[in-house]
Amino acid sequence: MAETEVKPPEKETVSQVRERLSSEKEEASVADPEGETCPVPSCGRVVKYLSHHINYMAGKGERAHIEFKESQVRAPEVAEKPHFSPGAGDALVAMLLAAALAKRPNLILPDGWKERAGEAHQMVLEEHVGPWIGKRSSLAYLAFVWGELLTVNLVVARMKTADSPDSETEIPEQHPAAVS
Amino acid sequence: MKPFRHLLILGTIGSGKTSLAYYFTKEEKRLIIVDTVFEDRYQHAGVIVHNLDQVGEILERQKRFRIVFRSGNRGDLKGVFEYARAAGDLVVLVEEASLYETMGPWAASRNKDDVFQKVVILGRHDQVKIVATTQRPANVHNLLISQSEILLGKVFETNDARYLRGLGGVTSETIEKACSLPDPALKDGRLSISYLTPLDNAVHTVDIEI
């Protein structure tokens, strides 16, 4: 039996790549003719060549663009969008509070605590947890949540409420009806 | 015969990565520099182009070229790799590689036909060499790291130092040595840059004309 010659798969030529990329770009521009929105908050312009725009504005001494350019080089993850939507902090506080109340139904909370705790958690989620987990798995976020739940459970187990006994070893008074 | 390896230059800001990358590619006759942050160093390193089609046009017409590609679209890097594979026998220098999702830790694993993966693995076959600089080795796919000769500049970031340990011969001793490398120094119009090669823990110094 004659051997069949096996040829390696043909590679595209530069012209073929150029033609293909050009048609892909045309399709993309039809779908979305706009460029990218400048991520610098004080700018927000839609520009076609983002780095060019940022460097041009930085070269003109535009402080916000200089800082953004520096942040891109030093810590690219800072420029990523927040991973948590507004309200995520309040939701997390509500969950922690539910866990605490399950252990201590008469837990005393200072006025405004829930709102302040919600804001603080929102800041932590957006500025620290989000950039940290980045494209890592959501297991990291779950670990963060479980860690907080465990901490809350451990703390409230030892907290006093309005009607908690002063000593955990205090023996409750025997009900008169129980005296034989 | 020296084995074909890509080149990865690691180090913190100001450790001389760009200057080293320029130094190691200045004699290349077929070179595409992906100038991510518009470095002054590359202003006269080649013909500056701003869109991918211009890269293709030059590759079609010229046998020798030094292209400085300054694009606002990071997705264009894929196109550069596609051109590189098609043209063959050239060097692609990528500045701040960790800023590109194309070269990130998750990119190549998503698609087995990924062009970046092909360039890294089949580089020897196509004679396409990648020279990449980065401050964040953890943000570069370990496929490239495993296929590269590593040059270590000064390292400050604890997490990066921890990540580097165990990679391509990088030991704790290497990290310690890298942390105490001298900063680049300017003297008599020449920039003196020190770097470390992890395989032999040797410190090298090059003098680059400004």
Closest-CA distance of chain B to residue A132, Å: 12
| Mean pLDDT of the A140-151 span | 81
pLDDT score at B59: 96
Query: Is the CB of residue A60 less than 8 Å away from at least one CB of chain B?
Result: no
* Residue of A10, A15, A16, A18 to mutate for B, most B C-beta atoms under 10 A: A18
Tokens in use for A136? 């890592």
Q: What confidence category does residue A90 fall into, taking pLDDT thresholds of 50, 70 and 90?
A: confident
* Average pLDDT along chain A: 71
* Residue B9 to residue B151: CA distance in whole angstroms: 5
pLDDT score at B21: 93
Query: Is the CB of residue A74 less than 8 Å away from at least one CB of chain B?
Result: yes
pLDDT score at B29: 95
Indicate the pairing of strand B190-197 with strand B202-209: antiparallel
Select the more confidently predicted residue: A153 or A1: A153
Of B38, B79, B104, the CB nearest to A21: B79
pLDDT score at B100: 84
Least confident of A30-39, A135-144, B152-161: A30-39
- Residues A101-135 have pLDDT tens digits of 887 887 777 878 888 888 888 878 777 777 666 55
* Residue B88 to residue B86: CA distance in whole angstroms: 6
Closest-CA distance of chain B to residue A122, Å: 26
Q: What confidence category does residue A27 fall into, taking pLDDT thresholds of 50, 70 and 90?
A: low
Q: What confidence category does residue A180 fall into, taking pLDDT thresholds of 50, 70 and 90?
A: very low
- Given a contact cutoff of 8 angstroms between Cβ atoms, the answer to whether B193 and B19 are in contact is yes
Closest-CA distance of chain B to residue A90, Å: 32
R_g of chain A computed on alpha carbons: 30
Q: Coil, strand or helix: which one is B60?
A: helix
| Mean pLDDT of the A82-105 span | 78
| Mean pLDDT of the A155-171 span | 56
* Residue of B35, B38, B71 to mutate for A, most A C-beta atoms under 10 A: B38
* Residue A133 to residue B133: CA distance in whole angstroms: 24
Phi and psi at residue A114, to the nearest 5°: -60, -45
Confirm whether pTM is higher than 0.90: no
Mean pLDDT by 10 residues, chain B (210 residues): 79 87 93 90 90 94 94 85 94 91 67 79 89 87 86 73 68 82 86 87 87
Closest-CA distance of chain B to residue A2, Å: 29
Shortest CA distance from B39: residue in chain A = A55
Which residues of A are less than 8 Å from B13 in CB distance?
A: 73-74
CB contact under 8 A, A55 and B59: no
Query: Is the CB of residue A50 less than 8 Å away from at least one CB of chain B?
Result: yes
* A178, containing H or E segment: none
Angle at B131 between CA B170 and CA A28, to 5 degrees: 125
* A113, containing H or E segment: helix A113-124
Q: What confidence category does residue A178 fall into, taking pLDDT thresholds of 50, 70 and 90?
A: very low
CB contact under 8 A, B85 and A11: yes
pLDDT higher than 60, residue A82: no
- Given a contact cutoff of 8 angstroms between Cβ atoms, the answer to whether B47 and B67 are in contact is yes
- Given a contact cutoff of 8 angstroms between Cβ atoms, the answer to whether B144 and B118 are in contact is no
pLDDT higher than 50, residue A68: yes
pLDDT higher than 70, residue A172: no
Give the side-chain half-sphere CA count within 13 A for A62.
16
Shortest CA distance from B37: residue in chain A = A51
